[in-house]
Amino acid sequence: MDVLENLTSKTDHLEEFPALPGVALKILERIKDPEAPLCQLAEVLATDPPLSAKVLMVVNSPYFGLSRRITNLPHAVNLLGEDSLKYIALSFSLVNLFGKGRKFFDYSLFWKESLTCAVVSRLMARDLGLQDAEDFYFLGLIHNIGKLALVRSYPEQYALVMDKIRKEGSEFHVAENEVLGCNHMEAGAFLVNSWGLAGGFSLPILHHHHPDHVPEGHSRSLFRARIIFLAYEICLFLYREDKVLRLSLLKDTLQEYELAEKVSLEGLLVKAGEQIEPLIPLFDLELNTELDYLQILEDSKKELVKLSSSLTRKVKEQREKITTLSALATQDGLTGLKNYQSFREALDRELAGCRRYAYSGVLALADMDSFKSVNDNYGHMAGDHVLQEIARFFSENIRKSDIVARYGGEEFVFILSRTSVKAGLQILDRLRERLSKFQMKYLDQTISVSMSVGVTSFSSDEASKDELLRQADTAMYQAKNEGGNRTRLFRPFSRA
């Protein structure tokens, strides 16, 4: 499960959420231990009378569609099973705990869409005859909870994310990656892991925007991610604009996932409309206006038949182009590493983080020794190939938590987060030594290079970004003046 373990390097700066209420913690324990006796859930809920009352309101709502009224929790648990009620109870705890905060973020819309996604996910799972349908409700509810983690931990930066989304029409995870260097899928999976829930929850959350990125061998998580993706697309179809385009994409995705014959959109939306609208006010969320889900579908279908059959393909191509352009804006065209501008933004984030959390880090500038001789002896195409190989070497030999970027020409820059200067020097000197022994093949030639590395450190109360770069540059030229292929630490007395 390396894909989950590697999340720590990107998300360990997240500020801790406020502690979950005792009832929520006990419910989470029951999710991890499904063998516990049924009666215990009723006893847990009974310790929180307001929560018990809300759960009973849901039990008697159209969400469960019971023919007679249930007046006590033990009866509800025996009749409906624990899986249904533990997720409903946990929903109230999460919405109550994370229901408000920053003014720039619409918490009411967030939870309304999350509840809609939860209900639709559960309905699809039940239509498909799945035994773990209630798990899909919980996945639908929390699949975007990483947004709340990022809003809480990086409020100023997330305001920039929201601004980018409004101005450029970027998707959330694209804007988050550009501004923060991580996204809500990673933050959500990290949070769920911290709750002790297995990959059956965290992997679908990590990949819910791109289900087919789920690693091979995790077919259950792949299926779950696809259902959550579809449920959210249905949610967007109901609540956002461009309904015809969204319906076209939704139908195309159902066909791609071989679910078009198994999932009836008409039947699904009828049941969703019956369940969602009575449910939303119980969570103290604004319903705004009532929606006729089936009428929305019928109106969109009529509009869809008027459009070209190539519409879906064009929309997909447009989305792919936006994603590609976003990557090009932050990547060096030759090496695929972060480019100069992206590096400077990453350094800004790192300096802000170290000031906020009072940790130290290391900045290093590396220049390839006598690189002109590579171009002179083997040609400029060989030089480009060597730079690409060096970039690949760096990417494979630095820690997941570190950043490497192309600074320009044959210069590269490193940010080592949460690293002491002593540890940073050791890491970079080992990297320098390994590179000097690294042999690159170009046509029938073997090419080797070495580098000179200048190192400086930063902490919560030290130099500006430009001063740090000047310090690393000074130390790097000291290394070159001493013959190259060495690592040097900036010291104040070494200034030219």
Shared domain check, 211 and 167: yes
Shared domain check, 380 and 264: no
**Is 91 a member of any domain?**
no
Could you tell me which residues are beta bridge partners of residue 452? Answer: 367
Q: How far is CA 22 from CA 13, 44, 90, 186, in A?
A: 25, 9, 11, 26
Query: What is the structure's pLDDT at 8?
Result: 52
CATH number of the domain to which 370 belongs: 3.30.70.270
Shared domain check, 256 and 145: yes
Q: Which residues contact 372 (CB under 8 A, 6 or more apart)?
A: none
Shared domain check, 261 and 368: no
Shared domain check, 308 and 346: no
CATH number of the domain to which 186 belongs: 1.10.3210.10
* Structure tokens, 490: 């900036």
The structure tokens 């829930």 sit at 197
Domains contained in the chain, number: 2
Q: Within 13 A of 160's CA, how many CA atoms are on the CB side?
A: 12
**Is 446 a member of any domain?**
yes
Q: Which helix (H) or strand (E) holds 434?
A: helix 421-436
Shared domain check, 352 and 308: no
Give yes or no for a contact between 251 and 149, defined as CB atoms under 8 angstroms apart: no
- C-alpha–C-alpha distance, residues 111 and 144, integer Å: 10
Q: Which helix (H) or strand (E) holds 368?
A: strand 361-368
**Is 23 a member of any domain?**
no
Q: How far is CA 50 from CA 29, 214, 254, in A?
A: 21, 39, 40
**Is 324 a member of any domain?**
no
Give yes or no for a contact between 133 and 126, defined as CB atoms under 8 angstroms apart: yes
**Is 82 a member of any domain?**
no
Query: What is the structure's pLDDT at 65?
Result: 84
Shared domain check, 247 and 154: yes
- C-alpha–C-alpha distance, residues 406 and 341, integer Å: 10
Q: Which residues contact 12 (CB under 8 A, 6 or more apart)?
A: 401
Shared domain check, 277 and 396: no
Could you tell me which residues are beta bridge partners of residue 363? Answer: 415, 456
Both ends of the chain: CA-CA distance in Å? Answer: 49
Shared domain check, 410 and 284: no
Query: What is the structure's pLDDT at 428?
Result: 96
**Is 89 a member of any domain?**
no
Residue 269's identity, in one-letter code, is L
Q: Within 13 A of 220's CA, how many CA atoms are on the CB side?
A: 11
Distance of CA 193 to the CA centre of its chain: 13
Query: What is the structure's pLDDT at 364?
Result: 96
**Is 205 a member of any domain?**
yes
Please say which residue of 297, 314, 331 terminates a domain: 314
Query: What is the structure's pLDDT at 311?
Result: 56
Shared domain check, 417 and 286: no
- C-alpha–C-alpha distance, residues 320 and 316, integer Å: 6
Shared domain check, 431 and 285: no
Query: What is the structure's pLDDT at 494?
Result: 45
Range of the domain at 348: 340-494
Query: What is the structure's pLDDT at 496?
Result: 41
DSSP for 161-224 reads: HHHHHHHH---HHHHHHHHHSS-HHHHHHHHHHHTT--HHHHHHHHTTTSGGGSPTT-HHHHHH
Shared domain check, 403 and 289: no
**Is 9 a member of any domain?**
yes
pLDDT in tens, the chain (496 residues): 344 444 555 555 565 555 677 788 888 877 776 666 656 778 888 888 888 888 899 989 888 888 889 888 888 888 887 778 888 888 888 888 777 777 888 888 899 889 999 999 999 999 999 988 888 999 999 999 999 888 888 888 888 889 888 888 788 888 888 888 788 998 888 888 888 777 688 899 999 988 988 888 899 999 999 999 999 988 888 877 777 777 878 888 888 899 988 988 888 888 888 888 888 888 888 766 566 676 777 776 666 655 555 555 666 666 666 555 555 567 888 998 998 888 988 898 888 878 777 788 999 999 999 999 999 999 999 999 999 999 999 999 998 778 999 998 999 999 998 899 999 999 999 999 999 999 999 988 999 999 999 999 998 766 788 899 999 999 999 999 999 999 999 987 544 4
Q: Which residues contact 234 (CB under 8 A, 6 or more apart)?
A: 116, 117, 120, 250, 265, 268, 269, 272
For 490, phi and psi rounded to 5 degrees?
A: -65, 135
- C-alpha–C-alpha distance, residues 140 and 125, integer Å: 11
Query: What is the structure's pLDDT at 319?
Result: 61
Please say which residue of 299, 314, 329 terminates a domain: 314
